Amino acid sequence: MEKLILTAAITGSVHVPTMSEHLPSTPKDIADDAVRAAEAGAAVVHLHARSPQDGRPSADLNHVREIVTSVKKRSDVVICITTGGGVGMTVEQRAAVVPEFKPEMASFNMGSMNFGLFPIKERYKEFKYEWEPAYLDASRDMVFKNTFKDLEGFCKIMRENGTKPELECYDVGQIYNAAYMLRAGHLDTPIHMQFVMGILGGITPTVDNMIHMKRVADEEFGAGKFTWSVIGAGYPAEFHLGAVATVLGGHVRVGMEDNLRLSRKEKCKSNADLVEKMARIIQNLDRDLATPDDARKMLGLKGKDKVNF
């Protein structure tokens, strides 16, 4: 089997600061944690920004710039910037990072859907910041908008800026959306997919479901003709699905964007904790970890010197 690309998703926009005192929230903390995750074995870091004042998910390009320039200066890791953003951000705000930074990779969400974070609110009586309960509640009436027109727009800017899209598929139907976009000439081969499993509004994170998603992708794109990775949102899905994907020849994403727990008894203290644990599982299953440069070759990325930051 080829080497395994381990991605670390550092902070995201799903979790709120109340959930973990270790969730990196300032641009400096996000960048520091990304560098440590790379040192622990991640070949790719998936990055969102948060406001340094209160940890709220941020679409401010200055916050993103602070993070990506700091990571690039200190690490060779592949930087994948989100275009998924967070609750309340417009498609235009989410897409702006691509022409601005021309990253090697960016996430590309493959369909409109419900994206329910509101059950998290019920788990807490008090919140660290005032914005958190309202933010979680807003997801009750939010459509995560990625219409076909939006998908065409994302394809266009990624192509124009030499950014490799990572196709985030939260359910089987979104794999068919990706296949349509490829047939219609909007995407280039080879494609790289991320099966995102465990979001309320998407598919549940079971092994059966992951194998079904892989089977559908094989049928649509041809077995061995695309690369794929898995996110199991939550614990233990992150590690269980990661282990099965390792055996099946896939790639794996872990990180505090998707899961805050290191074991049944213990929360993680950093992204590096999660990366180290997953790296051990991968190596025990006899897959070698890809370096950032291996990942660049395997994914056909343009190179770190061709970004705009």
As measured in angstroms, the least distance from the Cβ of 224 to ligand KMH is 25
What is the token pair recorded at 144?
């995560």
Distance CA 114, CA 87 (A): 11
CB atoms within 10 A of CB 138: 14
| x/- letters, 139..178, toward ligand KMH (CB under 6 A) | -----------------------------x----------
- State the binding string over 175-194 for ligand KMH (x if CB under 6 A, else -): --------------------
Residue 8 site contact among Zn ion, ligand KMH, none (CB < 5 to 8 Å, cut-off depends on kind): none
Q: CB–CB of 193/169 below 8 Å?
A: yes
Scanning 40-78, the segments in alpha helix (DSSP H) are: 61-74
CB of 86 to ligand KMH, least distance (A): 9
- Tell me: does residue 12 bind ligand KMH (CB under 6 A): yes
Q: Which of residues 7-46 bind Zn ion (CB under 5 A)?
A: 12
Nearer to ligand KMH, 68 or 199 (CB): 199
Structure tokens at 265: 């008894």
**Residue 244 CB contacts under 8 Å (≥ 6 apart), including other chains:** 207, 210, 211, 230
Using CB under 6 A as the binding rule, whether residue 89 contacts ligand KMH is answered as no
Examine residue 82 and tell whether it contacts ligand KMH (CB under 6 A).
Answer: yes
Q: From the list 11, 58, 82, 246, which residue makes contact with Zn ion (rule: CB under 5 A)?
A: 82
**Contacts (CB under 6 A) with ligand KMH, residues 256-275:** 257-258
Instruction: Report how far residue 257's alpha carbon sits from residue 49's, in angstroms, rounded to the nearest whole number.
Output: 11
Name 46's Cβ contacts closer than 8 Å, sequence gap at least 6: 7, 8, 9, 10, 80, 81, 82, 107, 166, 253, 255, 257
d(CA 239, CA 233): 10
Provide the 8-state DSSP code for 182.
H
The item of ligand KMH, Zn ion, none sharing an interface with residue 109, based on CB under 5 to 8 Å by kind, is ligand KMH
| 109 makes contact with ligand KMH (CB under 6 A) | yes
Cβ at position 58, least distance to ligand KMH in Å: 13
Contact 22, 256 (CB under 8 A): yes
Give the nearest distance from C-beta 82 to Zn ion in angstroms: 4
- Give the binding range for ligand KMH (CB under 6 A) out of 21-29, 79-87, 214-222, 278-286: 79-87
Name the residue nearer to Zn ion (CB basis): 86 or 292.
86
With CB atoms as reference, the residue minimizing the distance to ligand KMH is 84
Size of the site for Zn ion (CB under 5 A): 3
- Site membership for ligand KMH, residue 30 (CB under 6 A): no
Cα 110 to Cα 193: distance, rounded to the nearest angstrom: 10
Tell the smallest beta-carbon distance from residue 104 to ligand KMH (Å): 15
Strands 78-81 and 57-58: unpaired
Instruction: Report the C-alpha gap between 75 and 77 in whole angstroms.
Output: 5
Quote the Cα angle for 154-157-161, to 5°.
140
Task: Summarize as ranges the residues that interact with ligand KMH (CB under 6 A).
Answer: 9, 12, 14, 82-84, 107, 109, 168, 196, 199, 233, 257-258
